Amino acid sequence: MSDTPPRVSRRRRVVTKSPPSGAQGRDRWILSYADFITLLFAFFVALYSLSLKNSGDEQRLKETLHGVFDAVQKSIKPINIGEPIVGEPKDIEVVETKPIPAAPPTIEESNSSAVYALLSQVVENQFSGLHASGQISVTESADWVSLELKSGLLFGQGEYDLTNEAVALLILVANILKVHPSVILVEGNTDDLPVNSRRLISNWHLSSLRSSSVVDELVYRGVDPKMIAPIGFSSEHPKVRNTNDYARQQNRRVILRISKREADNLYDYLFQ
């Protein structure tokens, strides 16, 4: 046996230094900073766009805002890694679809829609209390736009002279009818009780005079006299049955029927 001690082999251990924990992401603040600068730029461009709207340049405002929001949308998209892909995929065919334009409204449709919308707006905004109590109502059918006014709003009991409130209302109605001329029939209606006046002969007389008073006021305010005429129905066209005082109050009314059919004058509209 040899007295030489056994040789122990030792392996060299290679120690690698790990980078600091924040070294990999120390440059990521540049992306956040770039996004912040982009949004800040968009904010100032939006402020500039608002100043353009104040000066009345709506087209430039639209174009500027479109560019701003399109730029902001692009800035928040993820960053591509590797070579960018240019163009559309070959196996996908892009088909452009064009929207089908809606048919423009006819003159009659646009005119009647405007009259209905304007009358409704006047009634709801200027006479909301009377509308809520049922003194005024605006309705629409296939052929007519109808403005119904209770006689208690327009006249005194058994009278055919317009009240001040009625004149104020008819002035607003006349302004609409002058802008959108149409054939107008003004219908007078009464209840079934006989008249109690020395000046009036019957309900036919009263209903005709009341509708004529409304026509006179509208013509005085500028409505074309060739497009309007009064008609009295007496008690022959009740809204509800004349069974009590409340029902009779509903039947005493004047209705402005505004035609949706185009015509040059009321005579041709009725008789030709």
> What is the full per-residue pLDDT of the chain (272 aa) written as tens digits?
555 555 555 555 555 555 555 555 566 667 777 777 777 777 776 676 666 555 555 565 566 555 545 544 444 444 454 555 555 545 545 555 555 444 444 445 556 678 888 888 888 888 888 888 889 999 999 999 999 999 999 999 889 999 998 999 999 999 999 988 999 999 999 999 999 888 899 999 999 999 999 999 999 999 999 999 999 999 999 999 999 999 999 999 999 999 999 899 999 999 98
Which amino acid belongs to residue 86?
V
3-state secondary structure of 116: helix
For residues 65 and 118, give the distance between their C-alpha atoms in angstroms, rounded to a whole number: 33
For residues 243 and 107, give the distance between their C-alpha atoms in angstroms, rounded to a whole number: 44
> pTM higher than 0.85 for the full model?
no
Strand 144-150 to 253-259 pairing: antiparallel
For residues 21 and 241, give the distance between their C-alpha atoms in angstroms, rounded to a whole number: 92
Question: For the chain, how far is it from start to end, CA to CA, in angstroms?
Answer: 144
For residues 90 and 88, give the distance between their C-alpha atoms in angstroms, rounded to a whole number: 6
